[in-house]
Amino acid sequence: MFNFKVCLLKLMKKKKDKIIVLHGENNDYLFKPHTPTSRFREVSKFSRVYKGESADGRSVVIKMLPSELAKKPEEIDHFKLEINWYGLHQNLLAPYEYIYQDDRHFLISDYYDGIDLSFYFKYIRVRKRTRIKIAIDCGLQLLNAVEALHNLGYIHADIKPANVLMATIKGKRPNFKNPEFQLIDFGMVRVAGKSPRLTPSRTKRPFVLVYSPPEQVLGFHELTSFHSDIHNIALLMYELITKEPAYESNISVKLMNLQMAYPLQVKKVIPPDLMLIIQKATSKYHFKKPPNHYSRSEVFHRLSLGIEQRYQTVNEFRLALQAFKSNYIKV
């Protein structure tokens, strides 16, 4: 007798165990797209990310362009651009191979044994002095990484906890003595001072409100530049020490108001000299009214006033951090 339930379960198991083998120029790669443990990151509208394995036994990360986006040539071109950043800097973890197979588009990256900062913020607890050391080391390494992009005239434009990996050792614990960080996800990289490349399928590029500088939040892309990446790195440092986001609200309108109108809150856990450095890196004009109450030229002027107070280059910010680190270690 035909047992539909048994047959369905077998089909489901067969689908779950299905292995996809990708044939690249450098190697062959395999992964199980329907196995939960293979999903490296949460499914998003713009990509699917899996953990896989190369033919020679190395763990790799496989990023797949969703089928609905794969129908659009402009999305394919944008997806393929990420391999341009491979090998640019030791703290940039970019894809090294693009594969087109069975009408699907894939990017292959080295697997990095680590946790992202979102996980770190949620689950890892360390002492104040260690937090300060980790924040400075993270800031310096990320600055060195983005400087490689800046030297070519580009900005990352998406520096946030989920896009920063922290190396782990045995037991999935970070190496607090010598922490190492990698910046990932180059889907929003663009030329400094220019609008992101929009497409018919994406009239806006996504960003995380709390970590984005005001000029990016308000869509003044002509003002986004090297100082914008520096702003984001400084906010990550702030959160690494305080264990709290710089601005927090479940209501997006309120969160935007906090971003636009209020200065970064001074926290006693951050040494005063370091707080001044972070404040300078995240400097902004404090709008007394919602930005939509001003003309575009007035908003542009006010944003520019805030930006002028920031560190304009990686080297300026790096020198300030190095000077603080040198004095802090002596204490």
Within 161-295, residue ranges assigned H as helices are 214-217, 226-242, 252-261, 272-281
Task: Report the candidate in 158, 40, 6, 7 with the shortest Cα–Cα distance to residue 92.
Answer: 158
Compute the distance between CA of residue 307 and CA of residue 317 in angstroms, rounded to an integer.
14
pLDDT tens string 17-53: 688 999 999 899 999 888 877 776 655 666 789 999 9
114-330 topology per CATH: Transferase(Phosphotransferase); domain 1 (1.10.510)
Q: Where in the chain is the domain with CATH 1.10.510.10?
A: 114-330
In the chain, ranges of CATH 3.30.200.20 domains: 18-110
- Vertex 279: Cα angle to 274 and 280 (nearest 5): 100
Each residue of 258-289: pLDDT tens digit? 888 898 999 999 999 999 999 999 999 999 99
Rg (C-alpha) for the chain, rounded Å, is 22
* Rounded Cα gap, residues 259 and 213, in angstroms: 8
Residue 225's CB: how many other CB atoms inside 10 A?
22
Q: Is the pLDDT of residue 67 over 50?
A: yes
Residue given tokens 């900062």 in the structure block: 117
Largest distance between two CA atoms of the chain: 80
Counted residue by residue, the chain has a size of: 331
What count of other Cβ atoms lies within 10 Å of the Cβ of residue 301? 12
> Which helix (H) or strand (E) covers residue 100, if one does?
strand 97-101
pTM score: 0.88
What integer pLDDT is reported at residue 44 of this predicted model?
A: 60
Task: Output the pLDDT for position 169.
Answer: 87
Multiple choice CATH, 18-110, 3.30.200.20, 1.10.3720.10, 3.40.1160.10, 3.40.50.1000: 3.30.200.20
Q: Which SS3 state, helix, strand or coil, does residue 229 take?
A: helix
Residue 187 banded pLDDT, cuts 50, 70, 90: confident
CA distance 29 to 60: 8
